[in-house]
Amino acid sequence: MAKGKSAKSYEFDVKVSVATTVRSQFIVASHAMHGNPYDSDILLKTLHIIFDMTNQPTQACYVDRGYKGHMAQRYEIDIA
């Protein structure tokens, strides 16, 4: 993102969570989280937003290793 020397670091303090369907990659929900929250803290909130947007329960969730230690035990969470 920056050219030249790496004397300055760049931090934006905003994470974006984007949820898609598995088969069609259609975006069903997205939201911005300010302040750099830990990934596992935002998973449950994202799953609630998906339900609010689609009125369908989430059957399975595929996430990266940053979501290890999540608090969403009632969902099937697969960590890649």
For residue range 47-62, what is the model confidence (pLDDT) as tens digits?
889 899 889 888 888 8
What are the residue ranges spanned by the domains of the chain? 14-79
* Better-scored residue on pLDDT, 15 or 78: 15
Q: Which residues pair with 10 in a beta bridge?
A: none
* Residue 8 scores a pLDDT above 70: no
* Residue 35 scores a pLDDT above 60: yes
* Residue 1 scores a pLDDT above 70: no
Q: Which residues pair with 71 in a beta bridge?
A: none
Q: Which residues pair with 32 in a beta bridge?
A: 16
CB atoms near residue 66 (< 10 Å): 13
Give me the pLDDT at residue 62, please: 85
* Better-scored residue on pLDDT, 60 or 27: 27
Q: How many CA atoms lie within 13 A of 27 on its CB side?
A: 6
